[in-house]
Amino acid sequence: MRKLAIAVGASATLASASAFAADVAVKAPPPPVWDWSGFYAGAGGSLNWSHIDQSLQGISGVTNVTLGPLVVAQGQAGGPFFDFNRNKFGVAPDVQLGYIAPFADGAWLAGIKFTYKYANNNSKENVAIPQTGSFTTAGGVTVNFVGFVPILPAEVNLKHQLALIPTIGRAFDKVAIYAGAGPALFGVQSRFNNGVGFAVIGGSLFDVTGAPVTVSNENWVWGGAAQIGATYAIAPRWFLDVGYTYARSSSFYIQNVVSFTNQNGPLVSSGIAYLNAREQITNQSVVVTINRQFW
């Protein structure tokens, strides 16, 4: 009887141990915390809102009016800078390269990212630059007049935008938020089409400069960019990055010089004209990229 009791007790103990082991075996290990560390590369697109601050000025050097070999009058026209600001919406492809280094037990993320946007956001609008001027005849009579220089159209194209942005972020497993700011470089193309200088003298309109002139400029301009965003891990080594960027160039100056000759009846006007511009670009964008980590 005693042996039977011992056998029953041993069997119960073994059954209990087996049940406990089974319970332990079926419990899944806790899911791993997402590792944000390392290099990554991504590509995607953005919606862009560009604000163009542009001021235009059309002035002339001394314009000679001749009748045959004789100079019968000399004049000059110009005026202050004329503000001509506008906005332009566009869609652009974006790429980025970056590196993330977790710290403080992985809860915080230090990073740096290089971004490139082929914005090609081209604003085209017609404008007439106002002028005032005067000319003096060979007989010493001075006549004042008003004038204008139509540009049909004036183009400003934000073609390229590059930025190098150090970031600081906070990780919440598969989600992270970040913010940063750094230097930016802008490639801007300006084009002034079909410019002609007109003068209104005695109620009549005179074409002073003749055939329409088109000039273009390409400028690389430094500025800055700030960005906030969030990332979300979608698969091993893959994550989405959604961010908002505010980027602004420094103000820059453009000067174009052209010579002209034009005939009105027996009179010929000739000289040099200057088309000057001051520009600054502000671009706000919402960027979405899909990225792959490389360890």
Please give the Cα distance from 151 to 206 (Å, whole number).
17
In a 13 Å sphere around the CA of 272, the CA atoms on its Cβ side amount to 6
3-class secondary-structure state, position 61? coil
Q: Are 259 and 237 contacting, i.e. CB atoms less than 8 angstroms apart?
A: no
The pLDDT assigned to 5 comes to 44
The pLDDT assigned to 34 comes to 84
Residue 120's beta-bridge partner residues? none
Please report, to the nearest 10 degrees, the dihedral formed by the alpha carbons of residues 260, 149, 156, 226 taken in order. 120
Report the 10 Å Cβ neighbour count for 291.
Answer: 21
Kindly report the pTM of this predicted structure.
Answer: 0.86
Q: Which residues 6+ apart lie within 8 Å of 292 measured at CB?
A: 40, 41, 42, 237, 238
The pLDDT assigned to 20 comes to 45
The pLDDT assigned to 106 comes to 86
- Angle value at C-alpha 280, between 275 and 283, nearest 5 degrees: 140
Tens place of pLDDT for every residue, the chain, 295 residues? 444 444 444 444 444 544 444 454 555 555 556 899 999 999 999 999 999 999 999 998 899 999 999 999 999 999 999 999 999 999 999 999 999 999 998 899 999 999 999 999 999 999 999 999 999 999 999 999 999 999 999 999 999 999 999 999 999 999 999 999 999 999 999 999 999 999 999 899 999 999 999 999 999 999 999 999 999 999 999 999 999 999 999 999 999 999 999 998 999 999 999 999 999 999 999 999 999 999 7
The pLDDT assigned to 28 comes to 55
Cis amide linkage into residue 153, ω under 30° from 0 = yes
The pLDDT assigned to 213 comes to 95
Q: Tokens 């204008």: give the residue.
A: 148
3-class secondary-structure state, position 250? coil
The pLDDT assigned to 3 comes to 47
The pLDDT assigned to 61 comes to 87
Please report, to the nearest 10 degrees, the dihedral formed by the alpha carbons of residues 181, 173, 116, 94 taken in order. -130
Please give the Cα distance from 260 to 263 (Å, whole number).
10
Please give the Cα distance from 111 to 177 (Å, whole number).
12
The pLDDT assigned to 295 comes to 75
Say how many residues make up the chain: 295
- Angle value at C-alpha 229, between 224 and 231, nearest 5 degrees: 135
- pLDDT of 173-209, one tens digit each? 999 999 999 999 999 999 999 999 999 998 999 999 9
* H or E segment to which residue 146 belongs: strand 142-172
Report the 10 Å Cβ neighbour count for 108.
Answer: 14
3-class secondary-structure state, position 23? helix
- Angle value at C-alpha 199, between 55 and 191, nearest 5 degrees: 35
Cα 161–chain centre separation: 5
* H or E segment to which residue 185 belongs: strand 175-195
Q: Are 282 and 247 contacting, i.e. CB atoms less than 8 angstroms apart?
A: yes
- pLDDT of 89-127, one tens digit each? 999 999 999 999 999 988 999 999 999 999 999 999 999
Q: Tokens 């511009």: give the residue.
A: 277
